[in-house]
């Protein structure tokens, strides 16, 4: 695997046709990217797309809310590509609804994807990053992690937990040379091939534009790191 060996590894967890795909394509310009999703179809399309542009992409189908599957996924990534130098945790799930509507099962599932999954992926990547004295872990968050609305009875706590996790990791791992940050995507993402006649494109975030800021964060000089920031369309109210 000569081309792979030459490249550092970035793991992109929770890849769909929106932000996940943009992150994978952007980081594939320099990294061998391991791309993860629960279902295989889009991963295949994206991996082919990246390879056509001479990138290295490796598909990892796994449900990151399951400890066993996370363990296997990172074992395979390590074996096939090497230890990740960059972890982009982009998975998210919620039901939306109020306390009367959301069930205990839905609530727990939301916590598993947003919080447990983030914890497990960080736990897989941290030891090698600590040993190397460098690394990057970025979490995709949402405004619900700062301000939980009436119908975010599960999505709110899940995103709050993910933000708390990022903070704890940053305080632990920062002095060890690992850059941890949490990005609040404050608005809807403009998904390709998805027509939303009721929504003006100007009110949406371009996933490629978001990916540029992830790229910037991932390569900030360690004397000047950002731990938390938001990204929102210029017209978005906040």
**Region 160-219 residues binding a second copy, contact defined as CB under 8 A:** 160-165, 167-169, 171-175, 177, 179, 190, 202, 204-206, 208-210, 212-213, 216
Q: Which stretch binds a second copy (CB under 8 A): 8-16, 29-37, 191-199, 229-237?
A: 229-237
Return the structure tokens found at 18. Answer: 């929106």
Closest CA to 226 of 154, 156, 166: 166
Return the structure tokens found at 50. Answer: 């990246």
Which SS3 state, helix, strand or coil, does residue 221 take?
coil
Min dist. Cβ of residue 197 to a second copy (A): 19
Q: Which is nearer to a second copy, 34 or 144 (by Cβ)? A: 144
Residue 238: CB partners within 8 Å, gap ≥ 6? 143, 186, 230, 232
CB 12 within 8 A of CB 64: no
Q: Which is nearer to a second copy, 10 or 148 (by Cβ)? A: 148
CB 85 within 8 A of CB 129: yes
Min dist. Cβ of residue 40 to a second copy (A): 25
Q: Which is nearer to a second copy, 14 or 157 (by Cβ)? A: 157
Site string for a second copy, 5-44 (x = CB under 8 A): ----------------------------------------
Neighbours of 76 (CB within 10 A): 15
Number of residues that bind a second copy (CB under 8 A): 79
Q: Which stretch binds a second copy (CB under 8 A): 46-54, 76-84, 156-164, 192-200?
A: 156-164
Neighbours of 161 (CB within 10 A): 18
Residue from the set 35, 47, 138, 231 that interacts with a second copy by CB under 8 A: 231
The string of DSSP letters for 189-204 reads: E--TT---TTS-GGGE
Residue 149: CB partners within 8 Å, gap ≥ 6? 156
Q: Which is nearer to a second copy, 14 or 117 (by Cβ)? A: 117
Neighbours of 203 (CB within 10 A): 14
Min dist. Cβ of residue 39 to a second copy (A): 23
- Residue ranges in 40-59 that form contacts with a second copy under rule CB under 8 A: none
- Residue ranges in 68-127 that form contacts with a second copy under rule CB under 8 A: 98-100, 102, 104, 107-108, 111-112, 115-116, 119-120, 122-123, 126-127
Q: How many residues does this entry show for the chain? A: 238
């Amino acid at each position: 695997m000569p081309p792979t060996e030459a490249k550092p590894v970035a793991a992109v967890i929770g890849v769909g046709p929106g932000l996940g795909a943009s992150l994978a394509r952007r980081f594939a310009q320099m990294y061998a990217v391991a791309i993860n999703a629960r279902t295989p179809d889009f991963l295949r399309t994206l991996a082919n797309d990246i390879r056509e542009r001479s990138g290295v992409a490796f598909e990892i189908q796994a449900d990151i809310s399951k400890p066993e599957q996370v363990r296997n996924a990172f074992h395979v990534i390590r074996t096939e590509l090497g230890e990740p130098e960059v972890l982009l945790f982009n998975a998210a799930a919620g039901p939306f609804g109020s306390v009367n509507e959301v069930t205990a099962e839905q609530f727990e599932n939301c916590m598993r994807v947003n919080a447990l999954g983030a914890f497990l992926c960080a736990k897989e990547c941290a030891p090698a990053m600590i040993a190397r004295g460098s690394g990057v872990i970025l979490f995709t968050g949402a405004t619900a992690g700062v301000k939980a609305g009436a119908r975010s009875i599960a999505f709110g706590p899940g995103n709050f937990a993910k933000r708390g996790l990022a903070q704890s990791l940053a305080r632990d791992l920062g002095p060890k040379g690992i850059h941890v940050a949490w990005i609040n995507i404050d608005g809807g993402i403009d998904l390709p091939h998805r027509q939303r006649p009721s929504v003006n494109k100007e009110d949406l975030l371009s996933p490629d534009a978001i990916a540029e800021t992830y790229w910037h964060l991932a390569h900030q000089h360690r004397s000047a790191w950002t731990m938390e920031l938001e990204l929102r369309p210029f017209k978005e109210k906040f």
